[in-house]
Amino acid sequence: MRGIVAFYLTYMLCLILGIICVALVVHWNYSYRGGFAWDGSAKHFNWHPVFMVTGMVVLYGNAAIVYRIPLTWGHNKLPWKLLHAGLLLLSFILSVIGLCAVFNYHNANHISNLYSLHSWVGICTTALFTAQWVMGFTAFLLPCTPISARAFIKPTHVWMGGIILVLSIVSCISGINEKLFFALKGNTNGTLPYSALPPEAITANSLGVIIVAFGLVVLKILSNQIWHRPEPGYEEGVYQPLGYDGS
């Protein structure tokens, strides 16, 4: 019982932090960066952080922990596989739109693409995510894939899932910092300098801290052995909910 309570308290914290992440990134870009548009202006760029934080961090993190929810353990795994894959697909779509936003903005304003460390880490993370989704779909959703192949791929799939989440968080934090350095230049553009910690900097820094907290909670859920979904032939001592039948 303590395992169930601890999981759901942690899961609730994860959901709350995810909602705060999305709310903060939207608030930052709407209230301090002028809002949103798709016209090549600075407002066009503002879609980039919103879609990347929502897709690559919040949706991705929640997709990763779908199998950990104890109420799902006594049921057929296929619907949860489809939910897991569907959330990841939505995460991927939002990420692609977010990348389109920044590339379109750069091209419209004659700004170079992929020159910063943030952009390098971000594009590599998206490429790994694409490969991970294709590998997961092929291995775990196609009925023709042999069980032995699934068993062989699963440890790498799980490990890569955690690595991609960490890289997504690194990309977001570096992107937030980069944007603040560009946007808060002081006298050159009528804003207070970043070093003065104006309200916008506090908001964006807070977003970064919440993103890190969200990632740590997700990784805690993923790493806790007693919260892993029991599979047929599971070892004794692993927590299982009442009524679990091994299906």
Which domain range does residue 199 map to?
Answer: 2-227
Whole-number pLDDT of residue 240: 39
Whole-number pLDDT of residue 232: 57
Asked if residue 238 belongs to a domain, the reply is: no
In whole angstroms, what is the distance from residue 122 CA to residue 176 CA?
12
In whole angstroms, what is the distance from residue 24 CA to residue 208 CA?
10
Q: Mind listing the pLDDT tens digit for each residue in 189-245? A: 778 999 999 999 999 999 999 999 999 999 999 999 888 887 654 443 343 333 333
Asked if residue 196 belongs to a domain, the reply is: yes
Neighbours of 179 (CB within 10 A): 20
Asked if residue 103 belongs to a domain, the reply is: yes
Whose CA is closest to 67, among 213, 220, 221?
221
Whole-number pLDDT of residue 173: 98
* Contact predicate 17/206, CB 8 Å: no
Whole-number pLDDT of residue 110: 96
Whose CA is closest to 103, among 146, 189, 95?
95
Phi, psi of 82 (to 5 degrees): -65, -40
Has residue 246 got a pLDDT over 70? no
Output 103 or 232, whichever has higher pLDDT: 103
Whole-number pLDDT of residue 72: 79
Asked if residue 243 belongs to a domain, the reply is: no
Whole-number pLDDT of residue 238: 40
How distant is the alpha carbon of residue 77 from its chain centre? 23
The total number of structural domains that make up the chain: 1
In whole angstroms, what is the distance from residue 233 CA to residue 34 CA?
56
Asked if residue 101 belongs to a domain, the reply is: yes
Residue 69's CATH number: 1.20.120.1770
Confidence of residue 1 (pLDDT cuts 50, 70, 90): low
Asked if residue 11 belongs to a domain, the reply is: yes
Q: How many H helices and E strands in the chain?
A: 8, 0
Asked if residue 108 belongs to a domain, the reply is: yes
Name the average pLDDT for the chain. Answer: 90
**Residue percentage of the chain with pLDDT more than 90:** 78
**Residue percentage of the chain with pLDDT more than 70:** 92
Whole-number pLDDT of residue 233: 45
Asked if residue 236 belongs to a domain, the reply is: no
Q: What is the arithmetic mean of pLDDT over 60-74?
A: 90
In whole angstroms, what is the distance from residue 23 CA to residue 27 CA?
6
Has residue 90 got a pLDDT over 60? yes
DSSP annotation of 232 reads: T
Q: Mind listing the pLDDT tens digit for each residue in 140-167? A: 999 899 999 999 999 999 999 999 999 9
Has residue 121 got a pLDDT over 80? yes
Q: What angle do CA 148, 161, 91 make, to 5 degrees?
A: 115
* Contact predicate 172/211, CB 8 Å: yes
Does the pTM surpass 0.85? The reply is yes
- Residue 225 C-beta-side C-alpha neighbours within 13 Å: 5
Whole-number pLDDT of residue 4: 86
Has residue 44 got a pLDDT over 70? yes
Q: Mind listing the pLDDT tens digit for each residue in 4-37? A: 899 999 999 999 999 999 999 999 999 999 999 9
